[in-house]
Structure 1
Amino acid sequence: MIKVAKFGGSSVADAEQFRKVKSIVGSDPERRFVVVSASGRRFPQDNKVTDLLLLVNAHIEYHVDCTALLSDIQARYQDIADELELSYPVAERFGEFAAQVKGFSPEYVVSRGEWFTGQLMAEYLDLPFVDAAEVIVFHHDGSVDMERTAMRLRDRATRLGSFLLPGFYGATVDGSIKLFQRGGGDITGAILARCLDAGVYENWTDVSGFLAADPRVVDHPRSIHRITYDEMRELSYMGASVLQEEAIFPVRETNIPIQIKNTNDPDAKGTIIRETAEEHVKEHLITGIAGKRDFMAIHVQRAHISNDVGYLRRALSVFEKYGVSVEHVPTGVDSFGVVVNGADVKDSIYSIVNELQHELEPDSINVVDSLALISVVGRNMSRRAGTSGRIFGCLGEAGINIRMITQSSQEISIIMGVNNADFERAIQCIYDRFVDGEMVEMPQLAQ
């Protein structure tokens, strides 16, 4: 079986982290293909190399001398090479880059973080280095040419048997460097896993997978050992993210599981992102709970809304006009609400309400601010009747008022709106009652 192992910035931050990566890769001969990010923070107040290179671009744009900044970046790589006794000529190669930096595209400059990290790690692991610009092919619109990319990656794999690939970037057919969005190293790893038909895509980071709740709200929440792609998307949307969301799509289409592991605790079980479960295995009723504060709901009421074709479309077009993303649209017989991020409308809410009044001629419009959204996610909730009612009852017993309720069409999440002031108490209440303990036995393979 082929395992693709991707190591994030925290996993390659310094020489000590390099040693951990080598131990992990060397412990399993199936880890023949490695993807690395640029070196990340060594300590909380430190800077990621990618951020420093973005700052280099800003210096160049505003004609500010960036010599000292480039020297700091070079020193990061020189320290790693010296401590690990690597032969890679950091001073010479980085000096060549620094001397010409003003002539490079901003994307090329930023990509050098992964490139230099990859060069050092390839030597340390004794793996061939494959430049992502030679194998990850972008269309000019920024999408990946999967056909060309797969052909090139498979060719390298066949000829080399194993290799190290820097993440986050590739190139168009004419050789222009293109970047993925931030966190794009995860996407690189997923593309490689897909193209090589890997048995598993391992994503090594500084946490032991997904947690069932935010540890800033719940003390020592349990780890989630298995999560489906849809559940991951639901929780990630509410901020519980350890993986770049776009990374799931290349491997999901080919049913390759993703294993989230901790470089600093490699024996921890971690989280596996996979659709199927074993028969008769007990799983938690609720997979996880996540939420965010500071939303706003604009409630519109008018008699016989359902008879007015296009009424809701006209309302949503007002938000579109102001460039505001709509989070949820809970509806009633003669009313509906539009839930938006409060920060998105802080400068335009009065204009939006006035335009809604003009466009819709409603009986009333009511704005509710300081709203927190909490998403309770669980693929097994539909297996146990009355789960939603019990959750609402739990909050009622705690004296927490629910301002809004909506449920996903797939029945894997229930989203509730509560006052900002009740946010942490609501999460703790639901976690204590449902998330931490209640189990469901799998009578058959999950769909």
Structure 2
Amino acid sequence: MLIKVVKFGGSSLASAEQFEKVGAIIRKDSSRRYVIPSAPGKRTSDDTKVTDMLYSCYGQAILAYDDEEKEEHMENFENLLTAIKARYQSIIDGLGLKISLEEDFKIIRKNFLAKIGRDYAASRGEFLNGKIMAEYLGYTFIDAAEVVFFDEEGNFDAEKTDEVLTAKLADIERAVIPGFYGSEPDGSVKTFSRGGSDITGSIVAKAVHAEMYENWTDVSGFLITDPRIIPNPKPIDVITYRELRELSYMGATVLHEDAIFPVRKEGIPINIRNTNAPEDKGTLIVEATCQKPRFVITGIAGKKDFASVTVEKAMMNSQVGFCRKVLEVFEENHVSIEHMPSGIDTMTIFVHQEEFEEKEQKVIAGIHREVEPDYLELESDLALIAVVGRGMRATRGTSGRIFSALAHANINVRMIDQGSSELNIIIGVSNHDFEGAIKAIYDIFVTTQI
């Protein structure tokens, strides 16, 4: 029997109505055997996600012990817990289920007041939604804390998780495993970063050797660029893991970037689908493909608010260890480096401006002390844009077309760098040119090619 692992995001499970859509999707394809639910998300734009409600509720429990206004915080705690109960009960009633979460909430209340930890608090959103989902589908419920593991340092233990999860699911034909959390060696609950249900889905797909990992959300896959900048940008039909990593790194956020690794090792494709438009094919994420992309580029993504430090010294390239010494200055000051283009006598280091500003004078002094540069220059309010696409390798003049498009838009390019893989080109522009640059690049590679 074919196996698909399906993960549903918070917006897909925000209400009973959304649960019914999810149920219809799962029942339509018998190969959708393992389900990874998130916590209920927002029902409307002014609603609150259950995970955020749980964080707030736990915060009030902590303050009920540590703050002078104990009675007020205790009242807030009880009110928030009641509101969370109501969210789940509305889903249960809307689906006509008989399941009761009373005992679960008694345990949650006790553990919150015992200050069990924020990770436990946050994980209850997925835990409770998983119990409802299992009841609704008639699937087996498996607590993720029993099959997803972290080591003593809080790092995900992939080997142990795969071993235990594979053995557990070998005899269970259909199961619901809540996303986002697992357990540490002492049994305490540990969560992934926000959006971590994507990772759980990927882990389960690897463990059961799935033919496909479907990640259902509220958009029909990846778009070539940010729809807040380009109205109705074209969708991406097929994208490779490498292209996705490049775009995710520069801000594309449909899928948690760490969700790629478990399935990539197994060659399992990921299909990003829309719960509200299940007929749409979405975006297929694969290891490699012979399919030619519709356009030369696959996607455009970027981030604002970088600073750059340019170090210039004659014969820099002949001084062994020059770059290492400069980079060690940043490391010693705990400043992470985003990008580092270089020339024969110059190197430029791009860093996050907010992180760098507090330490800039220490960094400058350290560079002078270590390498005695001829010239050192700082620039701020810069943006980096990644133009990514496997089609760029076989297309001549891609960089020239980018330069031409930006020149026609009167945008000054502060930096351009192409990786050796020819998979991406990084462009640096001023913050105020960020949106204009993306529009110009999209126009030259997509609009004019349609």
Q: TM-score, normalised to structure 1's length? A: 0.94
Name the counterpart of 2:136.
124
Correspondence 1:308 to 2:309: no
2:386 to 366, 375, 379: 375
Name the counterpart of 2:218.
206
Amino acid at match of 2:382: L
Name the counterpart of 2:4.
3
More displaced stretch, 166-175 vs 360-369: 166-175
Residue identity over aligned pairs, in percent, reads: 47
Shift of the alpha carbon at 1:173?
Answer: 4.8
Name the counterpart of 1:179.
191
Uncovered stretches (5+) of structure 1, i.e. residues with no partner: 440-447
Shift of the alpha carbon at 1:333?
Answer: 1.2
Name the counterpart of 1:18.
19
2:257 to 225, 240, 245: 245
Shift of the alpha carbon at 1:108?
Answer: 2.2
Q: TM-score, normalised to structure 2's length? A: 0.93
Contact residue 304 and residue 383 of structure 2 kept, 8 A: yes
Superposition RMSD in Å: 1.7
SS of 1:351's equivalent? helix
Name the counterpart of 2:147.
135
- CA offsets per residue over residues 57-111 of structure 1, 9 Å max, x none? 3223333321111111111111111111111112343234224422234322221
Contact residue 238 and residue 293 of structure 2 kept, 8 A: no
Contact residue 329 and residue 367 of structure 2 kept, 8 A: yes
SS of 2:429's equivalent? strand
Name the counterpart of 1:324.
335
Amino acid at match of 2:336: S
1:91 to 102, 113, 126: 102
Amino acid at match of 2:419: S
Deviating 4+ runs (over 4 angstroms): 436-439
Sort the Cα spacing of 1:211 and 1:201 in 2 relative to 1 into closer, same or farther, 3 A: same
Contact residue 224 and residue 299 of structure 2 kept, 8 A: yes
SS of 2:98's equivalent? coil
Correspondence 1:271 to 2:272: no
Name the counterpart of 1:234.
246
- CA offsets per residue over residues 402-436 of structure 1, 9 Å max, x none? 11111122111000111222211111111011134
Contact residue 11 and residue 41 of structure 2 kept, 8 A: yes
Sort the Cα spacing of 1:271 and 1:53 in 2 relative to 1 into closer, same or farther, 3 A: same
Contact residue 222 and residue 436 of structure 1 kept, 8 A: no
Contact residue 241 and residue 264 of structure 2 kept, 8 A: yes
More displaced stretch, 371-380 vs 340-349: 340-349
Shift of the alpha carbon at 1:278?
Answer: 4.0
Shift of the alpha carbon at 1:114?
Answer: 0.8
Alignment of 1:23-102 (within 5 A): 23-63=24-64, 64-65=73-74, 66-102=77-113
- CA offsets per residue over residues 168-201 of structure 1, 9 Å max, x none? 1122354322222221111111010001000000
Amino acid at match of 1:74: K
Sort the Cα spacing of 1:100 and 1:374 in 2 relative to 1 into closer, same or farther, 3 A: closer
Contact residue 285 and residue 438 of structure 1 kept, 8 A: no
1:157 to 166, 169, 186: 169
SS of 1:253's equivalent? helix
Shift of the alpha carbon at 1:389?
Answer: 1.6
Cα distance in 1 between the residues matched to 2:45 and 2:371 = 51
Uncovered stretches (5+) of structure 2, i.e. residues with no partner: 65-72
Contact residue 400 and residue 418 of structure 1 kept, 8 A: yes
- CA offsets per residue over residues 114-134 of structure 1, 9 Å max, x none? 111111111111211111122
Alignment of 1:396-435 (within 5 A): 396-435=407-446
